[in-house]
Structure 1
Amino acid sequence: MSTRSRAVLLSAVAAVAGLTLSACGKGGTSGGGGDTHFVTGHDGIATVAEGERAAAPDLSGKTIDGKTLDVADYRGEIVVVNVWGSWCSPCREEAKYFAKVSKDYSGKGVQFVGINTRDTSTTPALAFEEDNGIGYPSLYDPTGRLMLRFKKGTLNPQLIPSTLILDKEGRVAARALEPLDDTTLLKMLKPVLAEK
């Protein structure tokens, strides 16, 4: 490949990367759906006011351990949905925090659910959960079809890792498109948990 061809290719890759980053970084325009009523704070957490939230799509299927799970069964509880892959370094970094907060909030009206994606088999996903002390279920979504169920213009999981907080009505209240520690995760969770 000539030097000119490499330069053109690198410029194209840089342009696509820039567009991707700018699309993910601006609140209110996710998916190009116009005014979506959500605001992204300086901490990277996008939130939606209680009266303007969109319902989460159907998030159901087989878990990585072969059971059946439907997130809608947790209506009446706050649901923390974490999209992850065993191959994802930032997912490994945040896993210990999710394990800790899920244990701390067990029995307090909060349910954690993972969505494992892009793992070609459940073997590495199961090993990931065991290594990180993850005690909550994870849907197995190797092709990302569950992520594609979110409508354009809503708070949707665009990156891996992504974290969503669903309110007691099953509506998306908050989203983060970056790895979280326990402090940031609780900053997302506590305001929704405090809602009447």
Structure 2
Amino acid sequence: MHLGRALHLPLAAALVTAAALSLTGCDNSGAGGDRAHYVTDADGISTVRKADRQPAGAMKGETLDGKRLDVADLRGKVVVMNVWGSWCVPCRAEIPNFVKVAKAVKGKGVEFVGINTREASRTQAVAFEKDFHVDYPSLYDPTGKLVLAGFPKGTLNPQTLPSTIVLDQDGKIAARSLQGLSEERLRKMIDAVLADT
């Protein structure tokens, strides 16, 4: 009798988990999102039509180097936001591409901002930026509060590390990738947003 009950518990747990995943897995834009408002291409980059874009929420706080940054102050520019952690292997693989592209597009009305998250202390994150010569700022967001506030449910929000979100000149969420980016794919994301200004 106990054995039969024990076998049913894992099955019940598996069914509950499967149901939860089916509810959340249907919509990559977060709860309450509308997939009709964005498309995902073969490279895994999701884009939103200009008329359907939603504004990013408040993203302001202290950077890894102790300065204050408010992403709203960057309105008028395309903002590439990369959510990363120093312990994240794909983050380490993609960061040289971000450093290279950030330098190349700096004079074209594009700014890069990192969001360092799920780090217990700044030490590893600062070392990461130093090792990879990252010269753009990263907000320190150890608990993920900035990410939740900045990318509301129903928008193209980060769901994994790394995630990259591109804001248009009006501070609206225009594109997202939920995987590590090559230089070519990163440029493609940025160029698409610049083209519809």
Shorter-chain TM-score tier: 0.7 to 0.9
RMSD between superposed Cα atoms in Å = 2.6
Show the counterpart of 2:93: 93
The separation in 2 between residues aligned to 1:133 and 1:79, in whole angstroms, is: 19
TM-score relative to the length of structure 2: 0.87
Q: How does 1:1-196 map to 2 (within 5 A)?
A: 12=13, 16=17, 23=24, 26=27, 30-35=30-35, 37-149=37-149, 150-196=151-197
Q: Which moved more, 1:90-99 or 1:32-41?
A: 32-41
User: Percent identical across equivalent pairs?
Assistant: 51
Give the letter for the 1:37 counterpart.
H
Give the letter for the 1:45 counterpart.
I
- For structure 1, list consecutive stretches of 5 or more residues without a partner in the other structure: none
Where 2:55 maps in the other structure, the secondary structure is coil
The separation in 1 between residues aligned to 2:22 and 2:162, in whole angstroms, is: 15
CA shift at 1:32, angstroms? 3.2
CA shift at 1:151, angstroms? 1.8
Runs of 4+, deviation exceeding 2 Å:
4-27, 32-36
TM-score relative to the length of structure 1: 0.87
Larger radius of gyration: 2
Where 1:191 maps in the other structure, the secondary structure is helix
The alignment of Structure 1 onto Structure 2 pairs a total of residues equal to 193
When residues 75 and 22 of structure 1 are mapped into structure 2, their CA distance, relative to the original with a 3 A threshold, is same
- For structure 2, list consecutive stretches of 5 or more residues without a partner in the other structure: none
Where 2:159 maps in the other structure, the secondary structure is coil
1:81-135 deviation per Cα after TM superposition (whole angstroms, max 9, x unaligned): 0000001111000000000000111121000000000111111000000111111
Give the letter for the 1:119 counterpart.
E
CA shift at 1:159, angstroms? 1.0
